[in-house]
Structures are given as structure tokens and as C-alpha cells.
Amino acid sequence: MKSTALLLIYLAGMILAASAGNDTEALRRKLAHASGAERGEVARELAAALTLRGEAEQDRHDHKAARSTFDEARGILAKHGAVPSARLLKGAGLSELVLGDQDRALEFLLRAEATAEQGGDRDIASASSYLIGYVHRDLQNYELALKYFTAAYESAKALGNRRRVIMALNEIGNVHLFSKKFAAALPYKETSLKLAREHGEPDLLANGLHDMGEFHRLQGKPEKALPLLREALAIDRRIGHVRGTIISLFTIADCLHALGRYPEALAALEEARPMAEQTGQDRDLSQILLLTAQIHEKTREFPRALDNYRRYHDLWAQLFDKEKTRQTVEMQTRYEVEKKQRENELLRRDKEIAALAAAKQRSQRNFLFFVALLVLLLAAVLYYNFRAKARANRWLEEANQRIGAQQGKLEKAYRRMEELARQDQLTGLPNRRAAMEEIEHEEKRFRRSQKPFTLVMADLVGFKAVNDSLGHDAGDFVLKAAAALFSATLRAQDTVARWGGDEFLFLLPETDAKGACVLCRAIGEKIAGHDFAFNGRHLNVAVSLGTASFRADVTIEECLREADQAMYRSRGVAACAAPDAAEG
């Protein structure tokens, strides 16, 4: 029954879209032949028809097409001096929100809310409040998000809009969730999910199930999240909600990744990737590529990890370029609209001049008067052209400055993204990728000058017991504390990086095996003498260290393997261990 109802709704949407398309074409022809005050009225009718078409495109989840439709409607209204309706602004804000442009979304939605309140349209005002809350939630302005979601809930309740009541309750729970207030979030999440099951709308239920799964995932309970996420995925597939399917698959993969079930996680990501590519969901695709790279890195499939990291960075660069291009095109469009308005004004004035010339021919008696008036009008036109050109030049100069400033922001963001890709987010140390670059640089220096360097692998003994018995928060505490001790003990020229899990790597330039062992003993004493106190409990943590000095007859990988093997031989021993004599 539900699938039949959904099919009927989809067909109705297609029929409505086709009808709206026919209406818009007829109205475009009517606008082309209209004149005077009638043009403004026809322009408003055409914008209303385009708004209906944009909403039908949103119902089909084609937000790129909807964005173009709403932009066309706004352009027509601007050209004829008319103001966009609250409904048009709300639709434009929704598409910008889904496509990831929060700044433009917030601009449209605030205007939609104000216009709706002025016009007494309580439903559009309520919907706009809900979407404004969504924008602030994505921007992590949680206090403002809570304010708008609460307003949307109260207005929806007063209007009897049960669907929006459920959505607002769910998002209030999400705001508490993202603020790490799990106890405050749970009642809202449970109530919204219960109401969604009773309400019977599958897309609403799928959204509630996904967000409840996200609730458990963020608490570090991926095993509780998976059944809810899989139920949401089944509904999204059944109703043909492509983006919901992509998001559910990604979140499922993230949970499987946390549980160490890497093949299943990769299978979910491989299913989501072509869907994101085909539907143009570039931001979702970037997250899929990043998680895929991280999983391949953990499974030591480094070529695949590197390929996915490169695709991820290339995609982000394309997103920045697209955004810059879109803003440039928008500015150019605005300039063309203003230019057309100026041309129309000049044409109108030319007609007035022609009328004056005809009047002059009809009456010689007013000849001098008309000549004087013509001179004045020509002077006014020339003065207007001069002022208009000056304004246009100023506008273009300001636009170029804004584009330059925006480009600077994008370049800064890209540099920050490059830094994050080379840094371990928990400890703040360089990650494996950054460490390998440093080692390769040191190898080249060794080949040129024969200056020695030594690699040290370090493993925190007792970390797994702490992590298993006290949870991930205790394990994260140990990792950050150990990282700080390592950094404080090493010399300025040395590098310490998080290699993976509870393993760290030290790169010691211009240091032989003897010097490395001296430093390792200092590190072992530092760890042994530190009080790892977490929530009133003293944790038993030690460190195993293995060293390997680089030589001309080995590769970096072989040297790392020697250090790793030496580290495992030193487990439980406070001093460092070097490779066996047989190994060189």
C-alpha cells in the first residue's frame, strides 16, 4: 500500500512539473508581447509558475535544477522591479542549504521569514524558521539553532503541522547531540522517532532512524547504531531517496570502520560512491573518498589510500573553483540586468526626444522652446550616461575586490586542509603521511652527505588494557599525554609522529644507534616516572622502543621493519632494543 501511494505521489509530482513547464512557456511568450504595467503583472505570474516548478524539482531531490529555476524566477522579478515572494525565497534557501552554500541559504531564508511574517503567512514563516535552525546547526551556531528549531516547533504545533513538529523535535535533539549533551538529546530523539513511526511517512521515519543511529554512533556505540541505520537504508532504497541512501550508506560504513569491519565498510562506500557521483553530491563524495582512504591506510593498502586522498583533495579544489566561478557568473548576470535596465531607460528617453522633434515640426510657434528642451534633455542623457558608466566602473572594481578577497579565503582554507591531512587530529602530532615525507627527505640527505639518522618505533604497553576497561576517552587521554611527553623529551631537530593506534615513530637526524639508545632510555624513564591519572585512577602505562639506524644497503621500508621488530623484542623492557646482529 505504501509503495503504491508513493508511486501515485511521484506521478502527481511529474504531472505537476509538466503542467508547470507548459504554464511557464505560455507565460514567457505572453511576457515577450506585454507592455507597460502588464509586463510587471505577467512577470509575477511567471515567477510564481517557476516557483511551483522549482518545488516539484525539490520533491524529486533535483536541487541543482531547482536552484537554477529559482534563480531564473528571481532574475525575472529583479528585471521588472518586483519583489520575490516568501515562498520563492524559502525554496531558494532550501536548495542552497542542500547544495552546501550556507551563506546564501541563510540570506534567502531570513528574507523569506521576514516577508512571510509581514504577509501573515504563518506556514512559510514556520518552515523558514526550521530551515534557518538547520543552517545554524550546520555552522555549529548551536544556541541560535536551538532558538529557531524551538520557534519552528511551537509554530508548527499551533498550526497543527504534525510533520514539522516531528522534524523540529528531531533537530532539537540533534543540537543537544552535537553539543555533546547526550542526556538532554535522548528524550527529543525518542519522542520524534516514536511520532514518526505513528505518522507513517517513510521519508520522515528514515530520517528519524538515521539520526537515532547517529546518536549512538557519536556516543561510541556503533553496534547499537547499525540496526537503526540499516532500517533507514532499507526505507530510503524503497522510496527512491537517493541522497538519504548515500548518507545512510556512509554512516553505516563509518560504524563498521569503528568496529574494525573494514571489508564491509568498503563495500558500503563502494555502493555509495557512484550514487554520489551520478547525482552531483560532491560534498558527500568528498567524505566518502576521505573515509575510504583512511580505511585503506589502516589496512596498509597505501597505494589505494594515496589514490583516494588525491581524489579527495582534487575534488575539494574543484568545489572551490566551482564556487568561485558561480559567484563570478552571478555578478556578471547582475551587471547584465542593470545594463539592460539602463538601455531600456535610454530607449525610453530616445522616444521622448523623437516625440519632441515631431511636435516641433507640427508647430513652428514653439520651435525655440522645443530646441531648448531638446538641448537640456540631451545634456541630461549625456550626464546620466557619464554617471551610469562611473557607477558601473565602481561596481566592477568592488566586485573584483570581493572576488580577490574570496579567492584569498579559499586559498587559506585549502592550505588549512593540507595541514589537517598531514596532522593527527587527536594528538596534534604529524601523521604517518607527514612522517614518511620527513624520512624520505632525511634519506636523500644521507645519500648526499652520509650523515646518519635513526628511526625509533615506540609502542605504549598497557594501552589496550586501559582502552578496553575504561573506554576510548581514557585511551585518548593516554595517547595525548604520551605524545606531550615524547615532544618534550626529544630535541628540536627530532620528529615524533603518530604512526597508528598506540604506535609512535621518532626520526632522529645525525644520530647513530648509540645516541638513539641514550635518548630512548630518557624517554622510557620519562614515561615510567609520569603519573597517568584519569578520573582519579592511576593508569599503568609503559613504553617499548625499538631502533634501527639507516644504512646505504637498506630501504626505508626495511629500516622501518627492523625498528618495528626491535620494538616487539623489547616489550616489557625499559631500555631500547636495536636490530639483531644477524640483521645488520
Radius of gyration over alpha carbons of the chain, in Å? 33
Q: Tell me, what's the pLDDT at 394?
A: 82
Whether 3 is in a domain gets the answer no
Rounded average pLDDT over 180-200:
88
User: DSSP letters along 461-493, please?
Assistant: ETHHHHHHHH-HHHHHHHHHHHHHHHHHHS-TT
- Domain boundary pick from 377, 401, 421: 421
Q: Tell me, what's the pLDDT at 63?
A: 85
One domain for residues 284 and 401: no
For 403, the grid coordinates are 572576488
Do 305 and 296 contact (CB within 8 A), yes or no?
A: yes
Whether 497 is in a domain gets the answer yes
Q: Tell me, what's the pLDDT at 144?
A: 94
One domain for residues 572 and 484: yes
Q: How far apart are CA 6 and CA 239, in angstroms?
A: 7
Whether 399 is in a domain gets the answer yes
Whether 571 is in a domain gets the answer yes
DSSP-derived secondary structure letter, 498: E
Whether 241 is in a domain gets the answer yes
Beta-carbon contacts of residue 515 (< 8 Å; ≥ 6 apart): 454, 508
DSSP-derived secondary structure letter, 541: -
- Domain boundary pick from 421, 441, 456: 421
One domain for residues 440 and 578: yes
One domain for residues 295 and 344: no
Residue 219 is part of which domain span? 201-300
Closest CA to 490 of 522, 463, 459, 446: 522
One domain for residues 497 and 364: no
- Domain boundary pick from 300, 335, 370: 300
Can you give the CATH number for the domain in which 273 is found?
1.25.40.10
Whether 466 is in a domain gets the answer yes
One domain for residues 412 and 524: no
One domain for residues 577 and 464: yes
Whether 113 is in a domain gets the answer no
For 405, the grid coordinates are 578577497
User: DSSP letters along 78-140, please?
Assistant: HHTT-PPPHHHHHHHHHHHHHTT-HHHHHHHHHHHHHHHHHHT-HHHHHHHHHHHHHHHHHTT
Cα atoms in the 13 Å half-sphere on the side-chain side of 398: 8
* pLDDT tens per residue, range 6-33: 443 444 444 445 555 567 888 888 877 7
One domain for residues 243 and 385: no
Q: How many domains would you assign to the chain? A: 3
Do 208 and 169 contact (CB within 8 A), yes or no?
A: no
* Cα angle: 21, vertex 23, 25; to 5 degrees: 70
Rounded average pLDDT over 103-120:
93
Can you give the CATH number for the domain in which 464 is found?
3.30.70.270
> Beta-carbon neighbour count of residue 247 at 10 Å?
24
One domain for residues 415 and 443: no
> Is residue 341 scored above 60 in pLDDT?
no
One domain for residues 501 and 413: no
One domain for residues 443 and 573: yes
Whether 184 is in a domain gets the answer no
Closest CA to 422 of 408, 436, 410, 412: 436
Q: How far apart are CA 141 and CA 145, in angstroms?
A: 6
> Is residue 510 scored above 90 in pLDDT?
yes
* pTM for the full predicted model: 0.48
Q: How far apart are CA 562 and CA 581, in angstroms?
A: 11
Say if residue 571 is exposed, middle or buried (CB neighbours under 10 Å; 0-12, 13-18, 19+).
middle
Q: Tell me, what's the pLDDT at 5?
A: 39
Q: Which residue has the cell 631502533?
A: 547
- Return the higher-pLDDT residue of 402 and 419: 402
One domain for residues 447 and 508: yes
| Average pLDDT over the chain, rounded to an integer | 85
